[in-house]
Chain A
Amino acid sequence: MRTKLIFLTIALLLPLAVWSQERTHSQPIFDGKIVPKDRAYETFVSGDANNENHITLFHSIRFTADRSEFKRVTDLILEDANDAISKEMEIAQGNLTYALLVLPSSGTLNRFLGFQAKPSGQDGECSAIVVYIEGFTTINNLKKNYFTGK
């Protein structure tokens, strides 16, 4: 009987563990906990809105960050990079300026995280964008569909 209860408790908690893995280390960025949302430009697309590209979820957030905020953002991106199946990254003077990560899949959905830093034109500030994508597409298809050949 005790064994049954233990297995049932595990069965109850296991789905919570699965659910928590679907989140990324970068989630606080999207939650506005690094740069508040009133200073951010956020885009969210889900469902069949972008069915033709096989993207089921698109979530991006753009913001301008000071050095401290930028460091916190890139630290979180680098944590996700540690879990990534594949990664493309650019580092300048020890600072992350670009990342394209293929994250572990969630069920049948592929997951990707992108990061890009840009000059803001303001001293002591840098613009950045973080993008999270879920879908049945692949990284190669995304590149083929969106690479403009610059």
Chain B
Amino acid sequence: MTQDYWKQLIDKYFEAETTPEEERALRGFLALTDDPAFDEAKAVTGYFSAQRSRRAARIRVRTLTASLAAAAAIALVAILGHSTTPGTEDNCVIYAYGEKNTDRQAVLDDMNQTLAELFAGNQGPDVSAQLNEFFN
């Protein structure tokens, strides 16, 4: 390729009419040539290349930032939803030594009995004495 070819390609570049392949070829040529006739073109295309790199980096950072923001928002909504929504589904189940029982009334009766035992509190001196035997 002659010097005239490259000069025509440079003119085409400044008129924004080059294809991506022609741009790559031109940059490759300018990176290797020492011909002072192309010094000005080298200076300008080098500036645009730097600008493109910085723009690409900014786009990558913006994309990452947007992704992180979206992930944070989703996580926050999911956690808040989990913590404040009182039981989005009804569930009544007993696992008696590995066996499952979903009889709703049986489960509720067991719950009520457990709570009655718990809130009865102090179990009396006989129970305390038996527990003391265990602790000894």
Are A and B interaction partners? Answer: yes
What residues make up the interface of A, taking CB atoms closer than 8 Å to B? 1, 4-5, 8-9, 11-12, 14-16, 18-19, 22, 37-50, 56-58, 60, 62, 67, 70, 88, 90, 92-95, 97-98, 100, 106-109, 114, 116-119, 124-126, 129, 131, 134-136, 142-143, 145-148, 150
Is B117 interfacial (CB-CB < 8 Å)? Answer: yes
Known: A5-B65, A15-B80, A90-B122. A44 touches B90 (CB 8 A): no
Which residue of B84, B95, B127 has the most chain A CB atoms within 10 A of its CB atom?
B95
Q: A98-B121, A107-B80 are in contact. List 16 more A-B contacts (CB 8 A).
A: A15-B75, A16-B79, A19-B82, A37-B95, A43-B93, A43-B94, A44-B94, A49-B90, A49-B91, A50-B111, A60-B114, A90-B122, A124-B134, A131-B118, A143-B119, A147-B116
Closest to B122 in A: A90
State the majority secondary structure of interface residues on B.
helix
Q: Do the beta carbons of B72 and A11 come within 8 Å of each other? A: yes
Q: Give Cα A124–Cα B134 distance, bound, in whole angstroms.
A: 6
Given A8-B65, A9-B68, A41-B96, also A136-B120 (CB < 8 A): no
Give the distance in Å from the alpha carbon of A28 to the alpha carbon of B45 in the complex.
65
CB of B3 within 8 A of chain A? no
A41-B95, A45-B92, A46-B91 given as contacts; is B134 within 8 A of A67 (CB)?
yes
Q: From residue A130, how far is it (CB to closest CB) to chain B in Å?
A: 10
19 contacts between A and B (CB under 8 A): A1-B65, A4-B65, A11-B76, A43-B95, A45-B111, A49-B92, A49-B108, A56-B87, A58-B115, A88-B121, A92-B135, A93-B132, A109-B86, A118-B123, A119-B133, A129-B117, A143-B119, A145-B115, A150-B121
Q: Does B5 contact A (CB under 8 A)?
A: no
Instruction: Report the Cα distance A41→B116, complex, angstroms.
Output: 17
Asked if B136 is an interface residue, CB under 8 A from chain A, the answer is: yes
Contacts of A16 in B (CB 8 A): 75, 79
